């Protein structure tokens, strides 16, 4: 799956949390931003943008299950790969 993402992480953070730094976001703003992101995920039709929204939600611990988020098996496999890569990068960072 190759997507040209029209969204980057900083843009998503600014859009949903009004800050590119998660540490600057109040718990209330975080909850509100996650809720807004979940609504947009449900409405978004573009596969690449859906994936970007789901990835952000996954990193925040709030992503819906893969079978709910992605109709296409290829998209679900890409999401599994993303989760594996993220977990491996976190494991590598904890070993340093």
DSSP for residue 91: H
CA distance 79 to 58: 9
Question: Per-block average pLDDT, block size 10, for the chain (96 residues)?
Answer: 58 93 95 98 94 95 96 96 93 69
The residue with tokens 């993220």 is 86
Assigned token pair, 7: 């969204």
Q: For the whole model, what pTM was predicted? A: 0.85
**pLDDT 10s digits, 52-76:** 999 999 999 999 999 999 999 999 9
To which H or E segment does residue 60 belong? none
In the three-class reduction of DSSP (H, G, I as helix; E, B as strand; rest coil), residue 68 is classed as helix
């Amino acid at each position: 799956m190759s997507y040209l993402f029209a969204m980057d992480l900083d843009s998503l953070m600014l859009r949903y949390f009004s800050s590119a730094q998660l540490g600057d976001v109040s718990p209330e703003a975080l909850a509100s931003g996650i809720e807004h992101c979940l609504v947009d995920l449900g409405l978004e039709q573009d596969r690449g943008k859906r994936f970007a929204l789901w990835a952000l939600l996954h990193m925040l611990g709030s992503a819906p299950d893969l079978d709910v988020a992605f109709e296409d098996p290829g998209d679900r496999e890409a999401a599994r790969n993303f989760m594996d890569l993220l977990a491996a990068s976190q494991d590598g960072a904890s070993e340093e």
